[in-house]
């Protein structure tokens, strides 16, 4: 165990250092079971210094101690649009999640549109969500890019403000991206044909860039660069697909082009578990309480339990709503997944460590381990119970919320 050289310094010098004590401490490590009477020490650098049984972790004198019945890692929302889609639902004012001028615009960056001061971001933060994977919403064939950042970031001004400024390219297969009035794509067949043509074009561009001398590089093309990142497997193509045949189409595309696929929403994923498992593709599952309508008409509340049973890596998300609620809270979705067959610790994992793993950020967030970011959520009871409250939230070792939610 690492020594604690900060022991002799005062809190006035290093305000971020603190201890968090919990009756039930969910470290989200190993077998995921909580420890009884645990302590987490958060260092002045915003990282976890020590985490374990209260009987084994000595709280340095003078460190402020925050106590709660239950403590979990700060929650990780594996797919959100908060900060892009704002609370007012007011087009051209706070709805940046869609750009309808063309069906495929992977060049649209999330960092350029995110508003961390939107009340929805604050709302999530107060419920213990400390990290969100947000960006352009499902609803266009390729709607744009996504990113991952903490919920205490009000404006993205520097590289450190994000955990990953380019986390993926968001695509949508199925009725969500289909258009009427003779516009394309108007059918599923056309959707996939357009995606394939775009990927083929990007592939040629990538090859040209790789082969050409420095002075003979093709003109820069933001669209093809973004798709190139997908083809080079630097970022995944996050394909929102609910119907089983849309999921099948996404799997088919990933085989043809060799990109990293993440299935998003996946209402029918439980019907395709074998194929998804075989392809080694992770799923960012729709909210448990998503509406069973349209492409999601066959969703089941037991989906998370079924994916768990099938051994498919998955995480839970708040998703995107055109109307209300303008954001869901992953904790609530985890609670309902637990009520429908998923073990409670697995439900918590689906919005902490599993989400962090899926987003490629398990070294920094998602569990309470030495060296990781000191992101914690404190509750007055079982966090999965609707009637419990999140009472305090800590991000990078700083208390960011003390509202009882």
Q: Which residues are at the interface with other proteins (CB under 8 A)?
A: 86-90, 119-120, 123, 271, 289, 291-294, 296-302, 321-329, 332, 335-336, 338-340, 384-389, 405
> What residues pair up with 237 in beta bridges, in sequence order?
169, 261
Least distance in angstroms from the C-beta of 140 to other proteins: 17
- How far apart, in whole angstroms, are the C-alpha atoms of residue 326 and residue 305? 26
Q: Does residue 125 come out as left (phi exceeding 0), alpha (psi in the -120 to 50 range) or beta?
A: alpha
- How far apart, in whole angstroms, are the C-alpha atoms of residue 395 and residue 359? 18
Residue 129 DSSP one-character state: E
Q: Which is nearer to other proteins, 101 or 387 (CB)?
A: 387
> Does residue 137 sit in helix, strand or coil?
coil
Least distance in angstroms from the C-beta of 392 to other proteins: 16
- The interaxial angle of helices 244-257 and 188-211, nearest 10 deg, is 20
- In what side-by-side order are the strands of the sheet with 314-316? 75-77, 129-135, 142-150, 162-172, 237-241, 261-265, 283-285, 314-316
Q: Which is nearer to other proteins, 48 or 316 (CB)?
A: 316
Q: Which is nearer to other proteins, 114 or 379 (CB)?
A: 379
φ and ψ at 140, to 5 degrees? -125, 155
Least distance in angstroms from the C-beta of 189 to other proteins: 21
Q: Which is nearer to other proteins, 210 or 324 (CB)?
A: 324
Least distance in angstroms from the C-beta of 162 to other proteins: 23
Residues 36, 364 contacting (CB under 8 angstroms):
no
Q: Which is nearer to other proteins, 123 or 257 (CB)?
A: 123
Least distance in angstroms from the C-beta of 272 to other proteins: 13
- Cα-Cα-Cα-Cα dihedral sign, residues 134, 357, 366, 343: positive
Q: Which is nearer to other proteins, 217 or 386 (CB)?
A: 386
Q: Which of 286, 346, 362, 339 is nearest to 311 (CA)?
A: 346
Q: Which is nearer to other proteins, 260 or 392 (CB)?
A: 392
Q: Which is nearer to other proteins, 53 or 322 (CB)?
A: 322
Q: Which is nearer to other proteins, 102 or 403 (CB)?
A: 403
User: What would you report as the CA-atom Rg of the chain, rounded to the nearest whole angstrom?
Assistant: 22
- How far apart, in whole angstroms, are the C-alpha atoms of residue 286 and residue 264? 7
Least distance in angstroms from the C-beta of 10 to other proteins: 38
Residue showing tokens 């009725």: 175
Least distance in angstroms from the C-beta of 302 to other proteins: 5
Structure tokens at 317: 């998300």
Residue 102 DSSP one-character state: -
Least distance in angstroms from the C-beta of 297 to other proteins: 3
- How far apart, in whole angstroms, are the C-alpha atoms of residue 8 and residue 54? 20
Least distance in angstroms from the C-beta of 395 to other proteins: 19
């Amino acid at each position: 165990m690492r020594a604690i050289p900060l022991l002799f310094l005062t809190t006035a010098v290093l305000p971020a250092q603190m201890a968090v004590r919990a009756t039930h401490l969910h470290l989200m490590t190993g077998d995921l079971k909580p420890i009884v009477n645990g302590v987490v020490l958060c260092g002045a650098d915003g990282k976890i210094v020590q985490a374990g049984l209260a009987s084994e972790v000595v709280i340095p004198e003078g460190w402020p101690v925050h106590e709660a019945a239950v403590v979990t890692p700060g929650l990780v929302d594996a797919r959100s649009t908060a900060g892009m889609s704002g609370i007012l639902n007011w087009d051209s004012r706070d709805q940046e999640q869609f750009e309808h001028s063309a069906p495929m615009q992977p060049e649209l960056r999330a960092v350029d549109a995110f508003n961390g001061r939107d009340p929805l971001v604050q709302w999530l933060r107060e419920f213990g969500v400390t990290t969100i994977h947000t960006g352009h919403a499902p609803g266009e064939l390729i709607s744009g890019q996504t990113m991952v950042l903490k919920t205490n970031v009000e404006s993205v001004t520097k590289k450190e403000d994000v955990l990953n400024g380019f986390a993926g390219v968001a695509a949508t297969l199925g009725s969500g991206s289909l258009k009427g009035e003779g516009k394309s794509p108007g059918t599923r067949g056309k959707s996939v044909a357009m995606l394939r043509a775009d990927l083929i074009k990007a592939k040629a561009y990538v090859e040209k860039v790789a082969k050409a001398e420095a002075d003979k590089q093709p003109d820069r093309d933001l669209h093809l660069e973004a798709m190139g990142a997908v083809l080079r497997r630097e970022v995944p193509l996050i394909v929102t697909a609910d119907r089983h045949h849309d999921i099948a189409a996404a799997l088919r595309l990933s085989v043809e082009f060799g990109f990293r696929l993440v299935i998003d929403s996946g209402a029918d994923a439980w019907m395709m578990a074998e194929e998804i498992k075989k392809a080694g593709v992770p799923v960012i599952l729709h909210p448990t309480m998503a509406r069973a309508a349209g492409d999601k008409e066959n969703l089941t509340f037991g989906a998370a339990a079924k994916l768990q049973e099938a051994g498919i890596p998955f995480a839970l998300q708040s998703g995107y709503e055109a109307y209300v609620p303008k954001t869901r809270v992953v904790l609530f979705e985890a609670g309902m997944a637990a009520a429908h067959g998923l073990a409670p610790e697995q439900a918590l994992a689906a919005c902490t460590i599993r989400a962090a793993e899926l987003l490629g950020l398990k070294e920094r967030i998602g569990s309470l381990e030495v060296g990781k970011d000191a992101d914690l959520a404190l509750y007055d009871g079982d966090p999965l119970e609707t009637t419990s409250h999140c009472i305090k939230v800590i991000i990078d070792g700083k208390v960011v919320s003390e509202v009882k939610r």
